[in-house]
Amino acid sequence: MNERVRIVAIIAAGGQGSRLGAAIPKQLLEIAGRTILERSVAAFASHPRIVEIVVALPPEVAVDPPPFLTRYTKPVRLVPGGVRRQDSVARAFEAIHPPADVIVIHDAARPFVDAGTIDRTIDAAIDGGAAIAAMPSPDTVKLAREDEGHARVEATIPRERVWLAQTPQAFTREVLAAALALGAQGGSGTDEAALAEQAGCVVRLVPGDPRNIKITTPADLELARAVLAHEAGRERYDMAVRVGIGYDSHRLVQGRPLILGGVSIPHATGLAGHSDADALCHAITDAVLGAGALGDIGRHFPDTDPRWKDADSVELLRQAVLLVRQAGFTIANVDAVVVAEQPKLAPYVDAIRERLADPLGIDAGAVSVKGKTNEGMGETGRGEAIAVHAVAMLTRS
């Protein structure tokens, strides 16, 4: 491909968009914080093969353009649009200087055009003179005729032959000049490709993109906003690194063993609870589930369920790790603080780390457990309870 070909984009934004019923031109309505026009222009401003952009705007907007139109690194010219779309495109075409080899025309009402569609259209135009992005029709198309006030089917068009035109539409300078000359002589078309056809040029079809929708009605606008909101959510969900927090506390009572992190610790009292009351395992389990946004320990292992009575909490942790693995994550590391006035945890810390490494599926070097007193304050400080805080980091596997 000869990239010394000078490619200029025309954004047709001259229409008033009356079908949306808004007080301002539809291209100036916002979707997720950016106007439809800004999104359309940005697609071309960020495309490496486009060297210049000409935007045809409603005359009242062209004299007082939105500030974003002045902030691109490549030249952006603004021209007042005409009555018909083809008039706007003709004015934009005249404003291109120096002349372009290939002109890519895009409808501002299609803010989701992707770089691949732009590339396919440009390449086919360089090769064949004119090309438009289009989608094969998913629906059967009926040709209709008015008959006594009712629409009736005149014919069914073979679906394989029906393509629905999108933009961009790209033309070599000669082809677009011929199409616009035909328009100036009274010819009209809903797009430049129609004029090019009428001028006797071959117009190629290249695959468009199903997301490259035209925003025409309030329903389209609603759909576009919903899609972007969903994608913003997805992006956050798809983040490569996730963090979760967990907390648990249990009372210390006579006659129970003290188990922390799956390790039995000799002590006069132990933690009270439905299961083995291993607060360290419980806090880490909640941190792991939290990082995966998979709920909490009570949801997966309710203490009303007899299956979990006196359950080994290390096994609950193993189950939680399995759940986040199924959701596509791997544990990266875990850190925990055990708040206990007694006993001193230090002698058991390494054994606990080794014990937890197995259900977590990581090296003991990525498991951290720290003991802390509460300086005599509150229930933990009086030795009546043990509390644990934990964080877990997950990575997408």
SS percent in the chain: helix, strand, coil, step 5: 35, 30, 35
Euclidean distance between CA atoms 233 and 248, whole angstroms: 30
Q: Count CB-CB contacts under 10 A for residue 176.
A: 29
Does 39 engage in binding with Mg ion (CB under 5 A)?
A: no
Q: Count CB-CB contacts under 10 A for residue 342.
A: 13
* CB closer to Mg ion, 94 vs 305: 305
Which pair of structure tokens corresponds to residue 318? Answer: 């193993």
Q: Applying CB under 5 A, which part among 219-227, 241-249, 252-260, 384-392 lies near Mg ion? A: 241-249
Least distance (Å) between residue 360 CB and Mg ion: 18
Does 282 engage in binding with Mg ion (CB under 5 A)?
A: yes
Interface characters, 48-77, with Mg ion (x: CB under 5 A):
------------------------------
Euclidean distance between CA atoms 78 and 296, whole angstroms: 56
Does 248 engage in binding with Mg ion (CB under 5 A)?
A: yes
* CB closer to Mg ion, 8 vs 287: 287
* CB closer to Mg ion, 106 vs 282: 282
> Using CA of residue 270, residue 276, residue 280, residue 286, what is the dihedral sign?
negative
* CB closer to Mg ion, 199 vs 388: 388
Q: Applying CB under 5 A, which part among 100-108, 255-263, 275-283, 345-353 lies near Mg ion? A: 275-283
Burial state string for 28-53 with b = 16 or more CB within 10 A and e = fewer than 16: bbebeeebbbbbbbebbbebebbebb
* CB closer to Mg ion, 27 vs 313: 313
Least distance (Å) between residue 279 CB and Mg ion: 5
Least distance (Å) between residue 259 CB and Mg ion: 11
* CB closer to Mg ion, 38 vs 248: 248
* CB closer to Mg ion, 109 vs 271: 271
Query: What single string gives the DSSP state of each residue in 190-225?
Result: SSHHHHHHHTT---EEEE--TT-----SHHHHHHHH
Distances (CA, A) of 178 to 79, 167, 209, 383: 21, 19, 28, 90
H or E element in which residue 77 lies: strand 76-80
Q: Applying CB under 5 A, which part among 62-70, 116-124, 215-223, 240-248 lies near Mg ion? A: 240-248
Is there a contact between 202 and 128 (Cβ–Cβ < 8 Å)? yes
Which pair of structure tokens corresponds to residue 337? Answer: 């603080």
Which pair of structure tokens corresponds to residue 79? Answer: 């021209």
How many residues of this chain interact with Mg ion, rule: CB under 5 A?
Answer: 2
Does 389 engage in binding with Mg ion (CB under 5 A)?
A: no
Interface characters, 87-126, with Mg ion (x: CB under 5 A):
----------------------------------------
Q: Applying CB under 5 A, which part among 124-132, 238-246, 248-256, 314-322 lies near Mg ion? A: 248-256
Numbers of helices and strands, H then E, in the chain: 12, 18
Give the Cα-Cα-Cα angle 326, 284, 294 (nearest 5 degrees).
35
Q: Applying CB under 5 A, which part among 86-94, 199-207, 208-216, 279-287 lies near Mg ion? A: 279-287
Q: Applying CB under 5 A, which part among 32-40, 86-94, 106-114, 276-284 lies near Mg ion? A: 276-284
> Which residues contribute to the site for Mg ion (CB under 5 A)?
248, 282
